[in-house]
Chains A and B, each alone.
Chain A
Amino acid sequence: MKKLLSVLLVLSVFAGLFSLSGCGGNVAHIDAEKLIGNYDVEELRGTQMNFYTWGEYISDGSEGLPDVVADFERITGIKVNATTYASNEDLYAKLKAGGASYDVIVPSDYMIERMILEGLLQKPNFENIPNYRFISDEYLDLFFDPSNEYSIPYTGGMVGLIYNTTRVTEAPDSWSVLWDETYAGDMLTFNNPRDAFGIAQCLLGQSLNTTNPDDWYAAAEKLKEQKPLLQSYVMDEVFDKMEGGEAAIAPYYAGDYLAMAAVNPDLAFVYPKEGTNVFVDSMCIPVGAKNKAAAELFINYMCEPEVALANAEYLRYLCPNTAVLEDERYTLKGNPILYPTADFKTEYFHNLDQDTLDLMSKLWNEVKLA
């Protein structure tokens, strides 16, 4: 009897879990009729493609938005194996080691530069990607792909200062607030050397891509000064710490600020006057892709105004798609945080040479020992 009861209990718990996951409300769909391109390609039906991307980087059917990948599968009959990575470096290591084959990946600017340099990417046939015309001119001819042969921009973003207005009464306008003793113990910064150094470099007026060792030593001194004032070095923990009021000031991405502000309305955001780091993540096809035709079809689909709109709404990052930027339904249209009108210096991270990378990691170790 006891056994039977426990079995029933376990079953009811599972039933509860399933019914919970089942009630997602009415889910939106991408309709084939609303798409510009033709996605019913007979010879690709029943084939597979591997899509390797960042976590939570594509509209997945939550928040009443369409499940973009599932809709692609339904419309084209192509099975998409989507897997995720947490950093450009993870992606790089996977590709470099070989073994796995991916059809579409979404690396960031400096990583695309590195991958092109090392021959890890192949050129898509842009004739199969007519929706490329929707990509805004701002995202074309960038340093990592100067003649737009390898990459199709998917999203972008900029780093700024997030602060809690109940604790930071005077709105900051400079990175120097992260060195302000008033907020000692209430400040966070990036727990990764490139981003943490980047802030010191902006403040010192250096290039983010300097290869002059003296610049890096000076920036490291700046970070050592900052260390005793910091509460902690964080990456994803920044969400909890800023939303919960554990910390008062933190540098992070504008798109992520919008997500945090939805939870904690006391949070505000500013782009410091010294300038900041900007990034673009673009879709690419790596060498060794097994289903290039499906990859091109998928990239074209991702550039469809309807699809790009769903992704832009879900992601809250910068959208490079002009059709979305003009769309009245786009709730972030002209959002002053995502699309600031003020002019300030922005700089991309470039691929650094090995000596500079080694120096950076050595100095980062020193900062942490200080």
Chain B
Amino acid sequence: MKKTSLRAKILNAPYIVWAILFILAPMFMVVFYALTDRSGSFTLQNITALAVYKETFGRSIGYAAVATAVCLLIAYPLAYIMARSNASKQRTLMLLIMLPMWMNFLIRTYSWISILANTGIINSLLRALGLGPVQLINTPGAVILGMVYNYLPYMILPIYSIMCKLDYSLVEAAQDLGCSSRSVLRRVIFPLSLPGVVSGITMVFVPSVSTFYISQKLGGGKFLLVGDSIEMQFQTSYNYNLGASLSLALMVMILVCMVVMNRFADEDEGAIIL
């Protein structure tokens, strides 16, 4: 018994060192910078200065929430269809979902500029059809589209993997007992797939709320998200303390969102509220 635990310790060691070096130490530094001033003495000034950024936070959360909802609406039926189709079709669909991820995220986002631009592919087509140019780029819609496009796979994959493991005999049992197909979805399939949905929501919401590249390129830089504000504190105004304080606030908010989400997942009845 003792031997295995020692072995387990040794096997765990690299991960623990990794976690301390690259997760705990940076987190500690964020907290330290957020609560100190330039000379290193304790202050709450950086936290109170956040009041200026409340609209920025509000916008970031709003956009990320919409993007997450859209991802869920697209991903849920798709994941279900994938899980129910035959093996070769599943492989093909999976490849199609993964394929764009082999390309660099920045390049994929940049290419949306030439698709959505006023002289871009869509508007050139619309102009040829006499439907006139439509303002697509530099709008909130374009930013949300960028988020949905980039993070959709992170919603599909966890839901799909849960759906694959779903015991289909439960669905059949419900049908045998005269449950309508809508009720099967609502009372059997959805509650069973909830853990996948929760992890999908987390995996889409977190990167969406902290992004800055997508808003800069597709939003035309006309509005700042929290990620932009953090970048600016480090890059242009050298105010690492305020930057850390913004990051800390963002982390706390994400943490709160995750705790709330996990509560939903724990309660069976919670599923129906959604």
Contacts and interface: CB of A to CB of B under 8 A. Distances in A.
Nearest to B119: A246
A130 interface: no
Interface string A337-370: 0000000000000000010011011101100110
A341 B233 CA distance: 39
Nearest to B232: A361
A362 B221 contact: no
Given A357-B238, A365-B229, A233 B224 contact: no
A40 interface: no
Given A191-B216, A246-B119, A368 B223 contact: yes
Nearest to B218: A232
A241 B220 CA distance: 11
A77 interface: no
Interface in A182-221: 191-194
A240 B112 CA distance: 13
B236 interface: yes
Interface residues of A, number: 31
Interface centre among B219, B234, B237, B239 (most CB of A within 10 A): B237
B233 A361 contact: yes
B79 interface: no
Given A87-B235, A360-B237, A369-B56, A231 B229 contact: no
Contact of A364 (B137, B232, B234, B238): B232
Interface string A79-100: 0000000010110110000000
A361 B221 contact: no
A227 interface: yes
Contacts of B216: 191, 233
A260 to B, nearest CB: 15
A246 B220 CA distance: 13
Contact of B220 (A93, A232, A369): A232
B235 A89 contact: yes
Contacts, number: 78
B260 to A, nearest CB: 27
Contact of A232 (B114, B221, B238): B221
A241 B55 CA distance: 30
Interface string B232-253: 1111111100100000000000
A231 B238 contact: no
Contact of B117 (A89, A90, A246): A246
B115 to A, nearest CB: 12
Contacts of A237: 113, 217
Contacts of A69: none
B118 interface: yes
Contacts of A246: 117-120
A368 B222 contact: yes
Interface centre among B120, B216, B242 (most CB of A within 10 A): B216
B148 to A, nearest CB: 21
B217 A227 contact: no
A227 B223 CA distance: 10
B222 A89 contact: no
A93 B239 contact: no
Contacts of B117: 241, 244, 246
Contact of A369 (B55, B138, B232, B242): B55
Contacts of A244: 117, 119
A93 B65 CA distance: 33
B238 A89 contact: yes
B239 A357 contact: yes
B220 A231 contact: yes
A92 B232 CA distance: 14
Contacts of A227: 222
A234 interface: yes
Contacts of B120: 246
A92 B240 CA distance: 13
B239 A369 contact: no
A233 B222 contact: yes
A319 B113 CA distance: 34
A52 B236 CA distance: 20
Contact of B239 (A92, A194, A241, A361): A361
A237 B55 CA distance: 27
A241 B223 CA distance: 19
B53 interface: yes
Interface string A222-249: 0000010011111001001100111000
A365 B236 contact: no
B103 interface: no
A240 B113 contact: yes
B221 A357 contact: no
A191 B236 contact: no
B52 interface: yes
A314 B128 CA distance: 39
A252 to B, nearest CB: 15
B38 interface: yes
A75 to B, nearest CB: 36
B221 A89 contact: no
B238 A240 contact: no
Contact of A362 (B52, B137, B138, B228): B52
Given A89-B234, A234-B221, A361-B236, 7 more contacts: A193-B236, A233-B222, A358-B242, A360-B237, A361-B233, A365-B232, A368-B221
Interface of B: 38, 52-53, 55-56, 113-114, 117-120, 137-138, 216-217, 219-224, 228-229, 232-239, 242
27 contacts: A89-B238, A90-B235, A192-B236, A193-B237, A230-B220, A230-B222, A231-B138, A231-B220, A232-B219, A233-B216, A233-B221, A241-B117, A244-B117, A245-B119, A246-B118, A246-B119, A357-B237, A357-B239, A358-B242, A361-B236, A361-B239, A364-B232, A365-B53, A365-B229, A368-B222, A368-B224, A368-B228
Q: Which 6 A-B pairs have the closest CB atoms?
A: A232-B220, A233-B221, A361-B237, A191-B221, A357-B237, A368-B224
